[in-house]
Structure 1
Amino acid sequence: MKRLIIKKLIVISQSESRSLEVPFSKGLNIILGGNKTGKSSIIKSIFYTFGCELKRIEKDWKELISSYLIFFQYGKNQYVIIRQGKKFQIFEQSKGEYLCIIESDEFHKYSNSLMDIFGVKMPCISKEGKEFNITPPLLFRFQYIDQDEGWNKIADAFDKVGYIKDWKKNTNKYVCGYLDDKYYSLQTQKAQHIMEKEEKKKELNHNQNFVEQISNSLSQLDNSKSIEEATREIENLVQQADALRKDIFSIKAEMTIYENETYMNQHKLHIVEQNLIETEKDIEFAMKQENELVCPTCGAVYSNGLTEQMNISSDYAHCEKLKMELTEALDVTENTLSDLAQKYEQISRQLESLELKIQKSQEFISYSSYYKNKGQYEMYEACGQQLDILEKKVDKISFEIAKLDDEINEMKSKKRSKEIKDKIEGNCRILADKINVPKTFIKLRDFVQVIDHTGSETPRIVYMYQSALYLYNLERTDSPFNFYIIDTPNQQGQDTDNLESIFKSLKLIMSDDGQVIVGTERETGIEDKANNVIRLIEKRRCLSSEKYNEHIELFQKLQKLALNWVAENHKKQKEVADEMIE
């Protein structure tokens, strides 16, 4: 059974070279002292050291104290927390030796380490969406009745918790054990199973698609022709392809002949056209001259009679006829080339189609040989077996999720909620009888007492409920909710009878299974039954130099250990970073 027991508190003022050590024991502890003797400051220092920010704390005290040390036991292990401003250190103590667990000025990093010690796992979410474990002010909010705020409002003594989403509602259910560590553990397991299921489903879908593809291929093979038929078909296709290739070669050769003929005719046509131009010029020149022509170059004399002019015209007519013949020949050649080109394209497409058929038939023979002659569907069967395994895994995970859902729903059941409320209300009724609170005032909402009365009853209702919750939590095996601190009930406007009834009721909660610390100005009347009584006498003089050297020596020793831890931790982080870079 793990219980949280505060062993002692040490506060150190280095500016004044003074300190204070307050020992505590299990069972009932009474801090007895008049006004301004330091009772509330000591009590607030306990929670402050754990990491709770108090709404009110003596300014002089906060400025005076430089270091806070809280020694506590959880289960069989001993620990020390040191707080200096925003810096926290946790040490584990064993046989007089100390081991540093953490040093950090990051509150949530420290808080997570402390919750690991307590074995507490309650996820919280900030209003910005950041996730972290429950923090000390939320964990301990029901275990403290503060002299300032605590007697008028339930569990509202700590500050700086408003950044956490739904902090009241969630911790109400956690502290009473309705949604406890087991619930959040189940939720975590469920989330992990859901993630695993999604991964397996993706793998399953992938395998199903693969098996389906193989199945389709095998089905096509089963329904298709034989390998012998495919071989004969390939031979026939190859023959057809060879014939087409010969046709293509023949057409290409014929096209080459026509292309050459076209070139020659185009060349002849060009010469004829040039002759026509020159002859036309000669005719025009001769028509303008006399019967005799004198060559402008050599001076020779030529006849330019009708006969000569007719001969020139005859040459022109011959050239025109030749041009017409060549043009017609070119048209015929070009049309023939166009027909041959179309035929070439058509046969080429036929050849391409045949080659594709040949390729598919060859692939068919290859696949058939593999699946039918060598594999006998081994791949298909292996994939099918893997598919069965994955389906069973998904079914198993789904079954586990369903089981977790059943457990989660059982924990959240109305029956269980009623059982917890009944137990807390039962404790409330026992206490109500002792401290003069009408039982009709007992009203729980979300497991927390509703404060809808004013006057002197309010402090007693607060005390009744938080004491009842403390008694309820004492019945739980492992939890850090077995200590309870009550500060100065005598200052809460209670008459003598009511105050005495509160003091007498302390007998109900002073079990050695837990720890109760009460700060009071007046004698309770049960000091002789208390496990520990601390008497404060002098006003504002609770610090002394008596044990300062001993305390500062211990503090400095722990600081050296913390420095070594920081250096070693930094070294490890650097090694990890270097490995990642490599």
Structure 2
Amino acid sequence: MRKLILREITLVSLKEKKARKFKFHPKVTVIKGENHTGKSSLIKSIYWAFGAKPKKVHPNWEKADVITSVRFSIENDDYLILRKGEFFAIFDGNYNVLGTFDKITTALGPYLSELFGYKIKLNNRNNNLITPPPAYFLLPYYIDQDVSWSESWSAFSNLGQLKNWRTNIINYHTGIKPNEYYEIKAKIEDKQLKIKDIENKKSVSQTVLDKLLAQFKSALIDFDINVFRQEIDELMEKYERIKVVGQRAKDKIIELKSDKLHLQNHIDILKNAVQELRNDYQYALKQPDAIDCPTCGHTYENSFAERFTIAKDEDSCQELLIQLNEDMKDIDTEIKKEYIVYQQNNKEASKIQDLLEQKQGKIKLRDVIQNEGKKELKDILQNEINSLKGDISDLQEKIDSLRKDLKEYENRKRQEEIKRYYLNLMRGYLLELDVNTMEEKSYKAITSKISESGSGLPRALLAYYYSVLHTMNKYGTSTFCPIIIDSPNQQDQDQENLDRMMNFIFDNQPESSQLILGLVELGDYKFEGEIIELKHKYNLLQESGYKEISREIRFLLDKSINL
């Protein structure tokens, strides 16, 4: 099984001008600090950077608007994930941007599922098949101080996004239904959706075909199309000729009407000119032979020659007006001729209508043509339906084959082996943690909700978490993530039981796993790893080092935003 190892976390608040950087040991890192030193905020930020929001986050921490980056490795490959609000960026070990995301469920989640090897698909509340968001595949690794010591599988918020997720997620993580199971199941569901889509198309075609067949039953359709071939040829010939002649007449009428409009404009202009010349001539007749201009004082002649020129211009205009009126009559005549042609064309169309109504016995030529079209449509629909049936049959064969493959991963013997392994661990761990009052039926199923009273509940939950984690480590098929445990000293454990819990956590850490443990007091416990000690209350982030650390974060932001 592949392992994810956390290397380093960087926290920066540009708002408060504070920052902090912490390194993690590949085996065990103990984060030690009194209450209010920011221990839980640091721990919660680790998986928050991967898109999993803890159920409870301190409001002051949210106000600080902390940008978080986490360096991690999977096998021999190094990565870095950056989160600012709802923006995420993932880099490789050389700071090359592998992807940027502003949605968790539809963008970051599917990317991380590929990176971590999580192949599970589940239905959301809208019954759409999706990749579960990161919270679902990080859930078994995080034991939160606020909720995880009273209820299992509840450390993150918004888990109601998926329907009936708990059993599916537990079965997936523990290998009862591994990656291969969900890969095959996803293929089956994809093909079932395709079948549903094809069935809808087939249903539409079948409905049309049924209506068409019903029309055939109510009509006489048993005839030879060749009997009507000559009539059909004649129909098509007349139709083409009428279409050409009719369009030509229509175009000519439009052209003539346009010419008539222009001509009418010219006539109107001439009429105005004639009236103006006539007015000028009448005015000149009433004036003396010489006229003084009231404006400039110049004297103009009003001789017979001048008055004759005005009259001559009026005559010219009159002659032109007469000619234009003659042209107008010619255009009107042409328009009437073209309308006659157009009307004759309509008569030809009526002849085609009559031809369609001609009968051969009891059958009209129109019926013949329509029936041939229906026959052709019927053949097309029937061929389409047959083709769709073939597609459905092919898909169903593939589904049947995939279901046979699926049975290999539904093997009862294998599932019982995994469940028995979990149960044996649970029995032993409960004894080791001195939880003796729980009946086996209350924890026998790997999906059990652990219930116990008083100080025994945290120890029973710890036994359950470690039983599941060891089962995952042995039978799981995806990347095993770091185990993060915050504040195991719950429900006023006496010193003896607290020692049991602490020794249990260190001694039973799954093989090759990474553990990050948050504590108020460490005590004298032996482990291979390092300690991060937080000493300043209400000051997890500090001003010292802000300039250098913020420069690193700005570099990552600039690189991811300015691709």
Q: TM-score range by the shorter chain?
A: 0.5 to 0.7
Indicate the residue corresponding to 2:10 in structure 1: 10
Pick aligned residue for 2:187 from 186, 189, 199: 189
Matched, 1:93 2:92: yes
Cα distance change on mapping 1:492 and 1:415 into 2, 3 Å: same
Once the two structures are superposed, residues 449-486 of structure 1 have per-residue CA deviations (whole angstroms, 9 ceiling, x without a partner) of 33232111100010001111111111246423432111
Residues 356 and 44 of structure 1: CA distance in aligned 2, closer, same or farther (over 3 Å) = same
Contact 1:83 1:89 in 2 (8 A): yes
Distance in 2, matches of 1:29 and 1:187, equals 39
Q: Residues 23-422 of structure 1: matches in 2 within 5 Å?
A: 23-64=23-64, 66-84=66-84, 86-95=85-94, 97-104=95-102, 108-120=106-118, 121-126=120-125, 128-129=126-127, 132-195=130-193, 397-412=395-410, 414-422=412-420
The structure-2 alpha-carbon separation of the partners of 1:392 and 1:48, relative to structure 1 and needing over 3 Å to count, comes to closer
* Per-residue CA distance 1:158-195 (angstroms, 9 max, x = gap): 22333433233332333323334323321221133335
CA deviations on 1:57-107 (whole Å, 9 max, x unpaired) are: 3333333352111222234433322222x3221222233x33150131566
CA RMSD, 1 decimal: 4.7
- C-alpha distance after superposition, 1:24-61 (max 9, x if no partner): 23322222333333322211111222222223233333
Distance in 2 (CA, whole Å) between partners of 1:192 and 1:155 is 29
In structure 2, the residue corresponding to 1:82 is in which secondary structure?
Answer: strand
Structure 1 Cα separation of the partners of residues 26 and 89 of structure 2: 22
Counterpart residue number, 1:457: 456
Amino acid at match of 2:166: K
Tell me by how many angstroms 1:393 deviates. 7.1
1:537/1:48 CA distance change after superposition, 3 Å = closer
Distance 2:131 2:41 in 1: 28
Preserved CA contact (<8 Å) 1:172 1:446: no
Residues 380-430 of structure 1: per-residue CA shift (max 9 Å, x gap): xxxxx9999998876554333122223334534554443322121122223
C-alpha distance in 2, partners of 1:477/1:174? 8
Over residues 255-281 of structure 1, what are the superposed CA-to-partner deviations in whole Å (9 max), with x where a residue is unaligned? xxxxxxxxxxxxxxxxxxxxxxxxxxx
Q: Which amino acid aligns with 1:535?
A: I
2:513 equivalent in structure 1: 514
**CA 1:559–1:515: 2 relative to 1, 3 Å:** same
Q: In structure 2, what is the Cα distance between the partners aligned to 1:448 and 1:482?
A: 20
| Change in CA separation of 1:509 and 1:516 when aligned onto 2, cut-off 3 Å | farther
Match of 2:489 in 1: 490
Q: Give the letter aligned to residue 44 of structure 2.
A: K
- 1:536 aligned onto 2:536: no
Q: Answer yes or no: is the 8 Å Cα contact 1:99–1:561 preserved in 2.
A: yes
Shift of 1:441: 4.1
CA distance in 1, matches of 2:68, 2:477: 27
How many angstroms apart in 1 are the aligned matches of 2:384 and 2:55?
Answer: 62
**Residue 573 of structure 1 aligns with which residue?**
none
8 Å contact 1:200–1:390 — kept in the other structure? yes
Distance 1:430 1:386 in 2: 64
Scaled by the length of structure 1, the TM-score of the pair is 0.60
1:408-447 counterparts in 2 under 5 A? 408-412=406-410, 414-438=412-436, 440-442=438-440, 443-444=442-443, 447=446
User: In the alignment, is residue 480 of structure 1 matched against residue 479 of structure 2?
Assistant: yes
Letter aligned with residue 451 of structure 1: I
Residue by residue, what CA displacement relative to the aligned partner does 1:307-360 show, whole Å, maximum 9, x if unpaired? Answer: xxxxxxxxxxxxxxxxxxxxxxxxxxxxxxxxxxxxxxxxxxxxx9xx977999
* Cα distance per residue 1:116-136 (max 9 Å; x no partner): 32232423312x556532112
2:457 is matched by which residue type in structure 1? T
The equivalent of 2:274 in structure 1 is: none
Choose 151-160 or 411-420, whichever is displaced more.
411-420
Query: What SS class does the counterpart of residue 6 from structure 2 fall into?
Result: strand
How many angstroms apart in 1 are the aligned matches of 2:79 and 2:192? 38
TM-score computed with the length of structure 2 as normaliser: 0.62
Is 2:433–2:497's contact at 8 Å kept on the other side of the alignment?
Answer: yes
Residue 241 (structure 1) aligns with: none
Q: Distance in 2 between matches of 1:3 and 1:115?
A: 14
- Which structure 2 residue ranges, 5 or more long, are not aligned? 210-222, 228-354, 364-382
Q: Which 5+ residue runs of structure 1 have no aligned equivalent? A: 211-223, 231-351, 361-384, 566-582
* Alignment partners' CA distance in 1, 2:389 and 2:52: 50
CA–CA separation in structure 1 for the residues paired with 2:14 and 2:199: 63
Opposite residue 150 of structure 2, the aligned amino acid is: N
1:21 paired to 2:3: no
Greater C-alpha radius of gyration: 1
Change (3 A) 1:490 1:522: farther
Percent identity of equivalent pairs:
22
Partner amino acid, structure 1, of 2:29: N
C-alpha change, 1:193 and 1:543, in structure 2 (3 Å) is: closer
Aligned to 1:278: none
Secondary structure of the residue aligned to 1:6 is strand
Aligned in 2, Cα 1:147/1:471: closer, same or farther, shift over 3 Å?
same
Alignment check: 8 A CA contact 2:83 2:89 kept: no
Change (3 A) 1:54 1:106: closer
Is the 1:486–1:517 Cα contact (8 Å) retained in structure 2?
Answer: yes
Aligned residues of 1:89 and 1:110 also touching (Cα < 8 A): yes
Aligned residues: 427
Q: Is the 8 A contact 1:67 1:83 kept in 2?
A: yes
CA contact (8 A) 2:140 2:465 kept: yes
User: 1:411–1:105: structure 2 CA closer, same or farther, 3 Å change rule?
Assistant: closer
Per the alignment, in what secondary structure is the counterpart of residue 140 of structure 1? helix
Contact 1:5 1:72 in 2 (8 A): yes
Indicate if the aligned counterparts of 2:426 and 2:463 stay in contact, CA closer than 8 A.
yes
Structure 1 contact 123–132 (Cα < 8 Å) conserved: yes
- The answer as to whether partners of 1:10 and 1:19 remain within 8 angstroms in 2 is yes
TM-superposed deviation, 1:151:
1.0
